[in-house]
Structure 1
Amino acid sequence: MLKEFGPNIWTVDGPVVTAAAGFRYPTRMAVIRLVGGDLVLWSPTALTDDLRTSIENLGTVRHLVPPNSLHHTFLGEWQRSYPDAKVYAPPGLRETRQDIRFDTDFGDAQIAAWAGEIDHAIIWGNRIISEVVLFHRDSGTTIFTDLIQQLPPGWFTGWRALVARLDLMTAEQPEVPRKFQAAFTNRPAARAALAQVLAWPTKQVIMAHGPLIHTDGQAFLKRVFRWLVG
């Protein structure tokens, strides 16, 4: 179900998916409506008839955005349903999803189709993942995927609960999981990208695997990345 998050931005909570080693994660999509009525779908989740109807009532699906090389499970079904939509490749995904037609690759240059409405930054320097972070100007919303997480107590059980606790996935506050912290081997590159993100006038934050942050978004991000940027 679509939930309004701010001016011209909505969230959709999708089904739980199972990743490596049996770890289960909730899924979340963001829908952004551009000035002309075109829609940007970030991290598309499972496509259902009801969701299709709700989204088409908002505007025209023109842009499909998988934000990193891990969030692509449902991308193919969206491309088949909206073949005219442009699909953007984050670093590393084009090589693993050769069944997807990618129209352009994310780089450091901003996307002309939504210039002035959405900014993006690629968090470079991580051995596991290079995440594309979006900033929606109209709502003051910064959108993260896997680099910030907080799953509720009891989400994992058994040995997975122990791993999740040690990894900070179930910490008392949203955090960068320790596996991603350790994977930042090029910290100057990461700091340069994060400087761009932290300069955005963030009011709200969306993350794929954690609570929605409605206030003091810039202060929230500075706290989350304090270990990296000081």
Structure 2
Amino acid sequence: MLVEWHPKRLWYYDTRIRRHGFDCLHRMIVVKRTDGTLIIMNPVELTTQLQLALSDLGLIKQICVTSPTYHPTLSEWWLAYSEAQFLATPTVIQQRSDLHFDDALSSQTHKSLQGELLQTSLLGSKSPRKVIFCDPQSRTLILPDLLLANQPHLPLPQRLITVIFGAGRSTVFPFSDRTQFERMSLLRASIQEVLTWPIEHIISSNGLTVGKDGKNAFFQAFRWAFVSD
């Protein structure tokens, strides 16, 4: 079921996927543009029920994949919405050479999303790029599977994984991913860019929800970057 996060602007749809043998939450995010068309982020399995719900909201204009984790269902979306613009990270484009993509997502707001969303990615890492968005209208930071937190609504296996990775109720950036950053100055610049955005809330494609003080929650997850060499 589509959940309205911000009136007439932002929705999400939660389902479960298997990752490394564990049940985890996969959250698709839907943004209604000012012209009434839709932006889909990290699409889930496309069911008839979901198609009908989306058709009630508007015409799908863009389908964005912001992390290598969320490409498995792309084929069915490509077949159903071939007129939409497909945007993805460079890694996803390489992974899915069977599909045609209109462009790659970078650390700058894509021209087709300008005036709707703000966009960046965390630079300085050896890991595949993951793209971050902000919807200024709803003051929501939209993340891929970037941060961890042990939140009650998450599947129990996912909560156990977050504990193993050192996460409590507060948002954290996994310790294992911190070692992938070789240029801390670039990472800090990316974080500082995000902190200039109008953020009050956070939702993420791995199911995290921060209802208030989202900017501080994001900063606290990366505080370590400002005390590292």
Does TM, normalized by the shorter one, top 0.5?
yes
Aligned counterpart in structure 2 of residue 202 of structure 1, from 188, 194, 199? 199
Q: Distance in 2 between matches of 1:192 and 1:199?
A: 11
Write the distance in 2 (CA, Å) between the matches of 1:155 and 1:96.
Answer: 30
Code of the aligned partner of 1:29: M
Identity %: 25
Structure 2, unmatched stretches of 5+, are none
Matches within 5 A, 1:71-86: 71-86=70-85
| Cα distance between partner residues in 2 of 1:91 and 1:28 | 21
Matched residue SS, 1:88: strand
Cα offset, 1:151, TM superposition: 4.4
Q: Match of 2:163?
A: 165
Distance 1:18 1:179 in 2: 20
Q: Deviations over 1:184-217 (max 9, x none)?
A: 2222222121111111110110112243111111
Partner of 1:9: 10
Moved over 3 A (4+): 151-154
Higher relative contact order (CA 8 A, sep 6+): 2
What secondary structure, in the 3-state scheme, does the structure 2 residue paired with 1:27 have? strand
Contact preservation (8 Å) 1:151, 1:210: no
Residue 93 of structure 1 deviates from its aligned partner by 1.4
Supply the AA of the counterpart residue of 2:70: H
Partner of 1:60: 59
Kept in 2, the 8 Å contact 1:46–1:74? The answer is yes
Q: Is the Cα contact below 8 Å between 1:151 and 1:209 reproduced in 2?
A: no
User: Unaligned regions of 5+ residues in structure 1, if any?
Assistant: none
1:151 to 1:24, Cα distance in 2 relative to 1, 3 A: farther
Q: Which residue of 2 aligns with 1:144?
A: 143
Give per-residue Cα distances to partners, 1:22-50, cap 9 Å, x unaligned: 23321001100001111000111111111
For the residues of structure 1 that align with 2:73 and 2:14, how far apart are their CA atoms?
13
Question: Paired residue for 1:219, among 192, 216, 219?
Answer: 216
Question: Hey, what does 2:90 align to over in structure 1?
Answer: 91
Q: Residues 86-128 of structure 1, C-alpha deviation per residue, up to 9 Å, x if partnerless?
A: 1112131111111121110112332222212201001122222
Q: Does 105-114 or 93-102 show the bigger shift?
A: 105-114
Measured in 2, the distance between the counterparts of 1:125 and 1:28 equals 27
| CA–CA distance in structure 2, aligned partners of residues 33 and 156 of structure 1 | 32
Question: Partners of 2:138 and 2:39 in 1: how far apart?
Answer: 14
TM-score, normalization by structure 2? 0.90
Is residue 155 of structure 1 aligned with residue 152 of structure 2? no
The residue that corresponds to 2:172 in the other structure is 175
Question: Are the counterparts in 1 of residues 29 and 205 from structure 2 also a CA contact under 8 Å?
Answer: no
Q: Could you tell me which residue of structure 2 aligns to residue 109 of structure 1?
A: 108
Separation (CA, whole Å) in 1 of partners of 2:184 and 2:130 = 14
d(CA) in 1 for partners of 2:196, 2:226: 13
